[in-house]
Amino acid sequence: MGSCETCVVRNTAICADMDGDELELLNTIGRRRNLEAGEQLLWEGEDAVLVANVIDGVLKLSNSMEDGREQIVGLVYPSDFIGRPFGATTPYGVEALTDSRVCVFARRDFDKFAQEHPKLEHKLLERTLTELDRTRKWMLLLGRKSAEERLATFLLEISQRLDPATCSNPDPQAHFVFDIPFSRQQVGDVLGLTIETVSRQFTKLKRDGVIDLPSRRSVEILDRFELEARAGG
Amino acid sequence: MGSCETCVVRNTAICADMDGDELELLNTIGRRRNLEAGEQLLWEGEDAVLVANVIDGVLKLSNSMEDGREQIVGLVYPSDFIGRPFGATTPYGVEALTDSRVCVFARRDFDKFAQEHPKLEHKLLERTLTELDRTRKWMLLLGRKSAEERLATFLLEISQRLDPATCSNPDPQAHFVFDIPFSRQQVGDVLGLTIETVSRQFTKLKRDGVIDLPSRRSVEILDRFELEARAGG
DNA sequence: CGCATTATTGAGCCGTCTCAATCGTTGTGG
DNA sequence: CCACAACGATTGAGACGGCTCAATAATGCG
């Protein structure tokens, strides 16, 4: 059983800034849930019955078309919020990319709780505004960037998301290895590219000495400065 | 001089649900401002000094790259909210596409006011969530749709935005004429296409009898059903 | 009326997609 | 422990869609 007091994302999730009593109340309406990689939490278009906080793992939000084309519209990391409060239907599917732990709330309970706790709503607002900014930045990538620019941008963003230390210590020459929690297909779905194009661009960056690919799922940034140049604006 | 009591978007903007006293207070910190078509209200990356409500007109939000490539990341219509509360910098440029009227607030004043008025923050949250949903839907278009699908989707969305009646009365065969408040270049910037491709797709839809183009800036939907089919998922 | 601006049309190219074959890794059963 | 299947990733060849560059046509404006 998890409780809010011992939660690892206690101070970064929307629950931050809440006092002991509030937290206890929130704890009574939420429950932990484990998800395996590939498991779906919400389906696009279904009734919005629940919302959640990510404790651990990475999940994708995606929209798709009848013919199977899919676009990943967001990636969700620990302490991020999932779901659509105050709305009737879930506008995107949510699927775990890695084994994950989430803290789930019935939407009805959460909505009520939020309305009664302005501090929580404020946190949620700030988070939603930040997410909107990030999403809009991604639109520039999808609408205007080349395949190489897209992959370079993606590798930079993901390396920063997975190691927050990189943000505060942006040594452009620093070597840096990390695991990509995505298959090539999923990278393509994020970037609006096919799997083959993604693969070719990986190979090209490696051939040019910008990155190395020690294994299928890991990347080493050899020349961050060059990678940034290739990411474009 | 405008005042909130007589404001035409009084009941649909974030100011809705506020009582007389609150509104009066809000009125003292905001002021009206007229913008000419093409006039810029905010610049990408500058300090976020102000936020605003749209009273009349259409504005674009856009991100761009050093080499001039531009992506429109949002369109703003009457009663919509503009700007980045609780943030240091404005993440996108804002430019009026038509002559517009907005209700402007110093961000510092607005932030303070919002924190003290949960009802306003709640409205703002709902609005931001809706906008995030819309933006994510647009990512599917940018990442996965063909030029024809993009233009068809765009014409449907804009016809609904400009005539709310169409939403509640979705007769698929209904003829419907409306003005596009955008140049071909701007349509391209919204859809992630070049001006030539946009023009060719307009011509194609017209040649196929799906739409008519009575003038440069206006469109008549002749066969909404077919247009929906061509918009894809 | 003449000029500037915006849109359309055309020809050719380039980047990404499609389709297909091969390679590499992982896991399984003999 | 090895052979083999299954899967994901890579690579190649060719097609196609949208882009670039250029010319022309419409529209708007002084």
Nearest Cβ partner for B69 among A92, A125, A144: A144
pLDDT at B167: 47
The radius of gyration of chain A from alpha carbons, rounded to an integer in Å, stands at 19
Strand D contact at CB of residue B215, distance < 7 A: yes
Closest C-alpha to B63, from B192, B154, B158: B192
Query: B93-152: per-residue pLDDT in tens?
Result: 999 988 999 999 999 999 999 999 999 999 999 999 999 999 999 999 999 999 999 999
Average pLDDT of the segment spanning A1-22: 82
- Check CB contact under 8 Å for B121 and A126: no
A153 and A96 share one domain: no
Q: Is A172 found in the same domain as A110? A: no
Q: With contacts defined as CB-CB under 8 Å, which chain A residues touch B138?
A: 139
Asked whether the beta carbons of B120 and A125 are under 8 A apart, the reply is: no
Tell me which of A141, A165, A192 is where a domain ends: A141
Q: Among A167-171, B7-11, B218-222, which range has the highest average pLDDT?
A: B218-222
If one counts the domains in chain B, the total is 2
For residue A206, give the CATH number of its domain: 1.10.10.10
d(CA B231, CA B213): 18
B86 in contact with A at a CB cutoff of 8 Å? yes
Which stretches does DSSP call E strand in chain B? 30-35, 40-42, 50-56, 59-64, 70-76, 81-82, 93-96, 100-106, 176-179, 211-215, 218-221
Cβ of residue B177 closer than 8 Å to a chain A Cβ? no
Alpha carbons A210 and A25: distance in angstroms, whole number: 50
Residue with tokens 């169409």: B166
B188 and B76 fall within a common domain: no
- Of B85, B113, B141, the residue that ends a domain is B141
Looking at the structure, do residues A44 and A132 belong to the same domain, yes or no?
Answer: yes
For residue A85, what are the domain limits?
Answer: 4-141
User: What pLDDT was estimated at residue A27?
Assistant: 80
Q: Across the interface, do A131 and B132 touch by the CB < 8 Å criterion? A: yes
Which nt is closest to the CA of A182, judged by C1'?
D8
Q: What is the pLDDT of residue A164?
A: 57
Q: What pLDDT is stored for residue A68 in this prediction?
A: 85
- pLDDT at residue A179 greater than cutoff 60: yes
Q: For residue A183, say whether its CB is under 7 Å from any atom of strand D.
A: yes
Q: Is B2 in the A-facing interface, judged by CB distances under 8 Å?
A: no
Are the C-beta atoms of residues A227 and A152 closer than 8 Å to each other?
yes
- Give the per-residue SS3 of A77-106: CCCCEECCCCCCECCCEEEECCCEEEEEEE
pLDDT of residue A2: 62
Q: Is A136 on the interface with B (CB under 8 A)?
A: yes
Residues of chain B with Cβ-Cβ distance to A185 below 8 Å are none
Is A84 close to B144, i.e. CB distance below 8 A? no
Q: Are A93 and A205 found together in one domain?
A: no
CA B78 to C1' D29, in angstroms, rounded, equals 30
Distance from CA of B198 to the nearest CA of A (A): 14
C-alpha angle with apex B213: B62 to B155, nearest 5 degrees?
40
Q: Are residues A135 and A149 in the same domain?
A: no
CA pair distance A116, B113, nearest whole angstrom: 19
Q: Are residues A108 and A11 in the same domain?
A: yes
Q: How far is CA B192 from CA A142, A189, B67, B86, B132, in A?
A: 8, 17, 15, 30, 19
What is the residue-averaged pLDDT of chain B?
A: 90
Q: What value does the mean pLDDT take over residues B46-65?
A: 93
**pLDDT, tens digit (0-9, with 9 covering 90-100), for A110-134:** 999 999 999 999 999 999 999 999 9
